[in-house]
Amino acid sequence: MTSTRLEVRLGREHKARLVEIAKTRDLPIATVVREMIDQAYDDCIAERRRRALERLLDLEVEDVPDPETINRQSESTYGVPPLP
């Protein structure tokens, strides 16, 4: 994986919290930040899927496909990774 440099300015409290998380987990700060980004992204995708499901349910479709079919269709059509 090719990495790029990103500069982020944090206030003292956020920096202290980040350092505390890294120390508690015995990880470098960069790893903690990457993991937080990954988790936030996964949460974002899950929220997007939840909203899409709500819109589908609002349509009152009588013949709703099974979850595996929905996952497969949304991945192939929209590039959305399947739900776990």
The answer to whether residues 69 and 56 touch, using CB atoms and an 8 Å cutoff, is no
Total domain count for the chain?
A: 1
The answer to whether residues 23 and 32 touch, using CB atoms and an 8 Å cutoff, is no
Q: Residue 35 domain-assigned?
A: yes
CA–CA separation, 33 vs 19, rounded Å?
A: 11
Q: How confident is the model at residue 84 (pLDDT cuts 50, 70, 90)?
A: low
Q: Residue 55 domain-assigned?
A: yes
At residue 32, the pLDDT reads: 98
Q: How many CB atoms lie within 10 A of CB 80?
A: 15
Kindly report, residue by residue over 62-76, the tens digit of the pLDDT: 777 888 888 888 888
At residue 9, the pLDDT reads: 97
Could you tell me the residue range of the domain that residue 31 belongs to? 12-78
pLDDT at 83 over 70: no
CA–CA separation, 56 vs 48, rounded Å?
A: 12
Kindly report, residue by residue over 20-67, the tens digit of the pLDDT: 999 999 999 999 999 999 999 999 999 998 898 888 788 877 777 888
